Amino acid sequence: MITGESMPVSKSPGDGVIGGTVNRSGMVLVLATGVGADSMLSKVVRLIEDAQVAKAPIQAYADKVSAVFVPAIVVIATVTWVTWFSLASAGALPSEWTDVEGEFLFSFLFAITVLVIACPCALGLATPTAVMVGTGLGARMGILIKGGAPLETAHAVSHVVFDKTGTLTKGQPAVTAVRAFDAIRADEDRLLWLAGSAETGSEHPIGRAIVAAASSGRKLSTIQDFEAVAGRGLRCRLVEDGSSVLVGNVRFMSENGVDMTPAMLEAVREEEEKGQTVAVVHAGVAQGGKPLGLVCVSDPVRPEASAAVAALTGRGVGTSLVSGDNWRVARAIAASVGIRHVVAEALPAGKVDAVRDLQREGNKVAVVGDGINDAPAMAQSDLGIAVGAGTDVAMEAAGVVLVRSNLLDVVAALDISRVTFRRIRINLFFSLAYNCLGVPIAAGALYPLIHARLPPEVAALAMALSSVSVVMSSLSLRYYQPPIGSHRSEVFEPASAVLIEMNRL
């Protein structure tokens, strides 16, 4: 739960355990050494709170401009009236310009037109309309973006940190390889059937994974004389043919007189280097002899993980794997998906430190995780991304939730953010450009050349159209399709399933 191992960990007298974890078999007497504020859960909560307080607020560019816009326009309108009225009163203007309206009204209409044509609305709408459409676009694709702050942060992400168990992997042990040493004695199908039959009496997660794989489409044998040896393996006898079956690790085989050749031991080492748990299988009427082969169990990598990492790398975004699991498994998983930077055996505080190290290097860091142990790192990061199948604590600490639990949506979320933020910049540019062009014209900058003033009613129409154009610009985001993501997969999740998951969140 906290350290993130994909397989159960054996504990001996004197070892430390964490509250909330599950004892798989037997009885256990535990001495509580950390209670109340000293418990692991309290420490995790403090890490989250400290990280959230330390996070700097995001600056809103449009708000800064809008704060001075209206006073500036009032000043410009006043200066416009004073300038025209002063020139007219001093006789510096041709008399025919002011004969009809009079000097005061002639000057005053320029000031009114400036006030009317100036459009703080376009500036005020530039950001929220794009944010609204961008978050709605993400929601339709199963990517829940919690407001404008995460959306703005995501566009600048330069490094993504992945958790391992339940994020890069499926979080459920499964048989990932079967190797028969002698196909004449027992091929891979027979080997898996023998191991599955023997494991029907086991409560271990590895045993359940083997049984699930072996029982697919066929019936397993009934067993008798079952005996499990903790941390080693099991032995039993098949009722079907009376064969004695041993399933366990290399040490268990050696203790039972099973001879493993150097080539067999090398095969075990090769599979363990891939991060797999290896079960050696032996069957025969009597003990001794050589094993039949290997059944390998691991927490399988999500099928889209490699493509997601490659897509991030192609966009210039760095990737890291930070896990509480052991170094061997973490390195194997990282290598299989194309991640080079690995931090293993990291507790929640260690994950926070890893994120801080990346931030000190100048990176904008996003953390993708699913568990309680990932929540502090998410809170410390610039952007937390939670897998939808994860814990409520992780989803609370995250700014983005992937409802479909598909890692390709990490890339899609960053793409949506970048496109949305680019649209915000375009909206702000045209809003400012409109005002920079419209205000001088309204103030009469072209009057000496064309002898015509922009009527206030036309200025009002131009002001309204500028606001409408900003809204239409933002609405155009609705038609954007990220080039990668679960929405482009061949198998789509039903919309009803996504809505059910969104309601749960």
Give the tokens for residue 352.
């926070």
Q: Give pLDDT tens digits for 380-397.
A: 899 999 887 655 666 677
Are residues 126 and 150 both part of a single domain?
yes
Are residues 119 and 189 both part of a single domain?
no
Going by C-beta distance under 8 Å and a sequence separation of 6 or more, which residues neighbour residue 407?
A: 167, 168, 302, 304, 305, 308, 368
Are residues 286 and 219 both part of a single domain?
yes
Mean residue pLDDT of the chain comes to: 82
Q: Nearest 5°: phi and psi at 370?
A: -140, -10
How far apart, in Å, are the Cα atoms of 257 and each of 96, 237, 250, 251, 277? 118, 17, 11, 10, 21
**For the chain, what percent of residues have pLDDT higher than 90?**
26
Average pLDDT over residues 406-416: 92
> Given pLDDT bands bounded at 50, 70 and 90, which one contains residue 291?
very high
The pLDDT value given to residue 349: 86
Q: Which of 40-44, 55-59, 131-135, 268-272 has the lowest mean pLDDT?
A: 55-59
| Order of strands, sheet of 365-369, starting from the edge strand that comes earlier in the sequence | 143-145, 400-402, 383-387, 365-369, 159-162, 318-322, 341-343
The pLDDT value given to residue 193: 93
Average pLDDT over residues 233-254: 89
Going by C-beta distance under 8 Å and a sequence separation of 6 or more, which residues neighbour residue 473?
A: 130, 423, 426, 427, 430
The pLDDT value given to residue 467: 85
CA dist 390 and 3 (Å) reads: 15
Are residues 290 and 310 both part of a single domain?
no
Average pLDDT over residues 295-314: 92
- Of the three residues 273, 298, 323, the one that is the final residue of a domain is 298
The pLDDT value given to residue 492: 38
Active site residue 299: no
Higher pLDDT, 150 or 37: 150
The pLDDT value given to residue 55: 40
Q: Which residues pair with 36 in a beta bridge?
A: none
The pLDDT value given to residue 424: 85
**Does the pLDDT value for residue 462 go beyond 60?**
yes
**Does the pLDDT value for residue 489 go beyond 80?**
no
Are residues 228 and 373 both part of a single domain?
no
Instruction: Say if strands 233-238 and 383-387 run parallel, antiparallel, or are unpaired.
Output: unpaired
The pLDDT value given to residue 56: 33
Average pLDDT over residues 353-376: 89
Are residues 432 and 448 both part of a single domain?
yes
- Of the three residues 339, 363, 381, the one that is the final residue of a domain is 381
CA dist 281 and 266 (Å) reads: 16
The pLDDT value given to residue 144: 83
Q: Which residues pair with 400 in a beta bridge?
A: 145, 385
CA dist 476 and 468 (Å) reads: 12
Q: Which of 59-68, 103-112, 286-295 has the lowest mean pLDDT?
A: 59-68
**Does the pLDDT value for residue 360 go beyond 90?**
yes
Average pLDDT over residues 430-458: 84
> Given pLDDT bands bounded at 50, 70 and 90, which one contains residue 499?
very low
- Domain extent for 493: 34-155+413-504
The pLDDT value given to residue 322: 92
Total of domains in the chain:
3
Q: Which of 15, 163, 189, 325 is an active site residue? A: 163
* pTM to 2 decimal places: 0.72
CATH code assigned at 266: 3.40.1110.10
Q: Which of 221-225, 420-424, 485-489 has the lowest mean pLDDT?
A: 485-489
Are residues 288 and 178 both part of a single domain?
yes
